[in-house]
Structure 1
Amino acid sequence: MQIIGLVLLGFIVWFGFKDRSDAQVISAFDAHALVMVLVGSCAAVLVSSSSTTALRTVLCLREIIPGLKSFGRLTSAMEKEREQFCALWREGKRGQALALAEKSRFEAIRQLVDLILNRAPEAASAKEFLELRHEEITRWQPAISNWEMLSKLGPAFGMVGTITGMIQLFRNMSADNLNIGAAMSLALLATLYGVAFGAGVAGPIGHFLNGLLDERLGFLDRCEKSANELIARGASAPRAESRAG
């Protein structure tokens, strides 16, 4: 991935100096400037990421497309199962609660049940859910950090387009055929696209994804608290029965 990223960075430098004599005027859209910002930003992600992280960075885009969202939807499904399990367990319907847990496809729910059945101490619960939180952070935080990085690199690659555009402008000023429209288009619109991509696209996506990860970590916190609560409830029940006897 790093080699591909470096090749793309070299391509961006070459592309910035590519002759664009067919562009005579400055317009609201400049494909040349847009390519420099987007391809340059993608190249930076490839240089700084493993292939798995780069893929997850792209897959994170599913979370903003209706019908393709999965991470947030799975968190909601996990929370629903946790609430159902805890409600059944508190009501004394433990057979139904265990049947629900056996069908669960979520590791956190299965871990919650194992801790309760084994009457694990709070230290054991804290250790197990700390590992689950660490797994979630390790899996998703690098991809989220890439989007946060893109929010800063977008304007930077816009400046690359601006610099190459200004160099072309100065070069064309000494030419017989003075065509500064293309150079001015690249110089101005590259900065505009870079700021718009960084502040209007990558930054909000990174913030949104961080919110989804916080929700997942919050779910794991609630699982840990539920495990400790139900274990304590089960431990106090025998003592209450013995006092009554």
Structure 2
Amino acid sequence: MDFTSIIGMVAAFGLMIYGMVNGHDFSVIVDNFVDIPSVYIVFGGVLGCAFAGNSLKGFLSGLKSISLIFKNPKSDEAGTIKSIIELSNLARREGLLALEESANNLEDEFMKKGIMLIVDGTDPELVRSILEAELVNVDSRHQGNITFWKNIASAGPAWGMIGTLLGLINMLKNLSDPDSIGPNMSVALVTTLYGSIIANWLCAPIVAKLSLQNETEIKLKEVMIEGILSIQAGENPRVIEEKLKSFLAPKDRQEFEEEGGGH
């Protein structure tokens, strides 16, 4: 469980509520900031547009992807490099065919697939092509979810403005009643608030976290591809280690070396 998303979103929402309530009676704040017609206009409009712009499967998949921001992605690059070095040492001692048993013990399906391809004697260019094609498809699936939330983030303020315009029209129709101008203006602005909350409190963190998780997974798979192809090429394990360490940040590289690297 990734608690940063939970803590960040709860803290942001809590501070917003505190800003609303500070110095006022809570019941009055509820009356000021909760407007059911505005909820229908903004949230209904946003979800309606998202539904219209996707297939049913894509819409449901996009909504479900919110759960991903609360999960910790597998991003043990140092551990992956160590596994690759161990496999390269085994291949150097006993040949590529000896990797088959080790591949069956690997938890990562992408790594297992790559190792089995080289065990089967697949041409190196074809191995790279297959693995990179899968990498592109993984990125494409992730980008689909990211785009889903980006579109909602764009639609939120737009529907908030639509609600505001509707409220202003109603207000201008009743200018003969001065007492109604303030309340009507307040209700009109509530829709803009709802749209901004959707875009900045909900969607912005989701897009940022999903993008980060995608980058992390893609980078890890790139390490695997380079390592697998290096093993197939029969490169020296020390050379493979130096090559793969270039994927690590300087601090992580130092920690990796202090722990003995892949040896």
TM-score (norm 2): 0.66
Supply the distance in 2 between the matched residues of 1:202 and 1:100 (Cα, whole angstroms).
42
Supply the distance in 1 between the matched residues of 2:236 and 2:116 (Cα, whole angstroms).
15
Supply the distance in 1 between the matched residues of 2:82 and 2:56 (Cα, whole angstroms).
38
- 1:8 corresponds to: none
Does structure 1 retain, via aligned residues, the 8 Å contact 2:103–2:116?
Answer: no
Supply the distance in 1 between the matched residues of 2:188 and 2:235 (Cα, whole angstroms).
70
Supply the distance in 1 between the matched residues of 2:56 and 2:105 (Cα, whole angstroms).
33
Select 1:160's aligned residue among 152, 159, 162.
162
Supply the distance in 1 between the matched residues of 2:107 and 2:221 (Cα, whole angstroms).
15
Identity across the alignment (%): 21
- 2:228 corresponds to: 227
- 1:1-37 Cα offsets, whole Å, 9 max, x none, are xxxxxxxxxxxxxxxxxxxxxx9x9713334323322
Does structure 2 retain, via aligned residues, the 8 Å contact 1:151–1:197?
Answer: yes
Compute the RMSD of aligned alpha carbons.
3.2
Supply the distance in 2 between the matched residues of 1:115 and 1:85 (Cα, whole angstroms).
17
Superposition deviation, residue 115 in structure 1? 2.6
Supply the distance in 2 between the matched residues of 1:61 and 1:80 (Cα, whole angstroms).
28
- Opposite residue 211 of structure 1, the aligned amino acid is L
Supply the distance in 2 between the matched residues of 1:90 and 1:130 (Cα, whole angstroms).
21
SS of the counterpart of 1:92?
Answer: helix
Superposition deviation, residue 190 in structure 1? 1.0
- 1:36 corresponds to: 41
- 1:172-217 Cα offsets, whole Å, 9 max, x none, are 3356x95345522321111122123213321221122111112222
- 2:146 corresponds to: 144
- 1:92 corresponds to: 90
Superposition deviation, residue 83 in structure 1? 4.0
- 1:196 corresponds to: 197
- 2:126 corresponds to: 124
Supply the distance in 2 between the matched residues of 1:88 and 1:98 (Cα, whole angstroms).
13
Any residues of structure 2 matched to 1:203-222 within 5 Å, and which? 203-222=204-223
- Opposite residue 57 of structure 1, the aligned amino acid is G
Does structure 2 retain, via aligned residues, the 8 Å contact 1:147–1:202?
Answer: yes
- 1:12 corresponds to: none
Any residues of structure 2 matched to 1:14-93 within 5 Å, and which? 27-65=32-70, 69=71, 72-73=72-73, 75-76=74-75, 82-83=80-81, 85-92=83-90
Change (3 A) 1:205 1:32: same
SS of the counterpart of 1:49?
Answer: coil
Superposition deviation, residue 96 in structure 1? 8.7
Supply the distance in 1 between the matched residues of 2:79 and 2:36 (Cα, whole angstroms).
49
- 1:33-60 Cα offsets, whole Å, 9 max, x none, are 2332222111111011111211121111
Change (3 A) 1:35 1:181: farther
Change (3 A) 1:54 1:105: farther
Supply the distance in 1 between the matched residues of 2:182 and 2:139 (Cα, whole angstroms).
48
Does structure 2 retain, via aligned residues, the 8 Å contact 1:36–1:161?
Answer: yes
Supply the distance in 2 between the matched residues of 1:136 and 1:33 (Cα, whole angstroms).
38
Does structure 2 retain, via aligned residues, the 8 Å contact 1:168–1:183?
Answer: yes
Aligned length: 205
SS of the counterpart of 1:27?
Answer: helix
Does structure 2 retain, via aligned residues, the 8 Å contact 1:148–1:202?
Answer: yes
Supply the distance in 2 between the matched residues of 1:167 and 1:42 (Cα, whole angstroms).
24
Superposition deviation, residue 116 in structure 1? 2.5
Supply the distance in 1 between the matched residues of 2:165 and 2:235 (Cα, whole angstroms).
69
